[in-house]
Amino acid sequence: MNLKANEILSLFQPAGILESLDGDATISIISPVEVGKTGALVFVDNKSFLPYLRENKPSAVVTNKEFITEILTYGIEAVFLTKNVAVAHAAIKQKYADRDLFTSEWGKRHVSAVIHESATVPESCMIGPNVVIGANTVLGDRTVLLAGAVVESGARLGEDCVIFPNAVIGYECILGKRVYIKSGTVIGSEGFGFALGNDRRYHRIPQTGIVVLEDDVHVGANCCIDRAAYTETRIKRGTKFDNLCHVAHNVEIGEDCALTAGFIVAGSTKIGNRVMTSGQCGILDHLTITDDVIMGMRPGVSNDVKKPGVYAGIPLQPFGEYTKSLAIYRKLPELRARVNELEKALKAMKGEG
């Protein structure tokens, strides 16, 4: 990497990611603010980062209106202004400092890959060692399958997808464009469908539906998204999963959700757009969660959530109620002691003591 700050501005200003640039500099690396020195581009959206700028003097800084006036007094060569430092960080690092999946030690198509003759695999795709691609599979242009990935028969993947090592895309499942599936994840595992007989034995109900992941969905490592019993499990555009998440059969999850580690949702539940959860969120089956809901503090969801807002706890409750309940809970030993004293006093008044 060796480019001028004004080159970065010319690329990202038209998209509204960067607003302006004061000065210019040659940039050779994108760095954390704590260590960025001459040649480095760093990102600052927190007051605690300012001492590092004064001490290290990086060549370029991306910041917002809150800090730009002070930063301009530090003598830094180039200072970018943006409305959203985090978004600028994401865009610039994707462009200049992301992993290059198309420069592989194995070449474009490893000899150990097993590709069915009926599969459609464009020349622009990268196919790593021990990849398996089943019959009638269709891959989009520039899709990357890293070592050990499996794409079963009839699956369809859009352009610019990345399937990381040892991930599995089940038969007939559909992925849109720019879908990332991290290592160890299974898309289209069989849903948990069993009938309990009068003999108290379980009888498997074949799960023959599919999973659909729309454009720009990212699924972290070691997740499972189950195929539907008959129709589809669907994850809508832009939703992001952390590692170790599980989505049961027939679930529908809306657009631009952010679901962190330990997220588990049971079958046939419908989740709206822009829902966010903290770690270890559990949601029961056949529920409906509306748009713009934030759930925290290891939430446990046992009923529909009909109003947007911030919720927490088990059972799930509005965040204000949760904090009040938590305050009372912490005082339970004290309250119990007071109740015991009052009972003794009442008995004494009645002559029962």
Active site residues: 249
Which tokens hold the place of 7? 């080159």
Classify each residue of 114-123 as buried b or exposed e, where b means 16 or more C-beta atoms within 10 Å of its C-beta. Answer: ebeeebebee
How many other β-carbons are positioned within 10 Å of the β-carbon of residue 270? 17
Which candidate, 304, 252, 302, 287, places its Cα nearest to that of 273? 252
End-to-end Cα, the chain, rounded Å: 85
Residue 88 backbone phi and psi in degrees, to 5: -60, -40
Q: Name the E strands within 119-167.
A: 126-127, 132-133, 138-139, 144-145, 150-151, 156-157, 162-163
How many other β-carbons are positioned within 10 Å of the β-carbon of residue 33? 20
User: Cα separations (Å) of 119 from 80, 163, 186?
Assistant: 47, 17, 20
Q: Residue 256, exposed/middle/buried by CB under 10 A (0-12, 13-18, 19+)?
A: middle
Distance CA 47, CA 76 (A): 17
Which tokens hold the place of 294? 């934030």
Sheet holding 293-296, edge to edge: 126-127, 144-145, 162-163, 180-181, 218-219, 240-241, 258-259, 276-277, 293-296, 309-312, 317-318
CA 46 to chain CA centroid, Å, is: 23
Is residue 281 within 8 Å of 264, Cβ to Cβ? yes
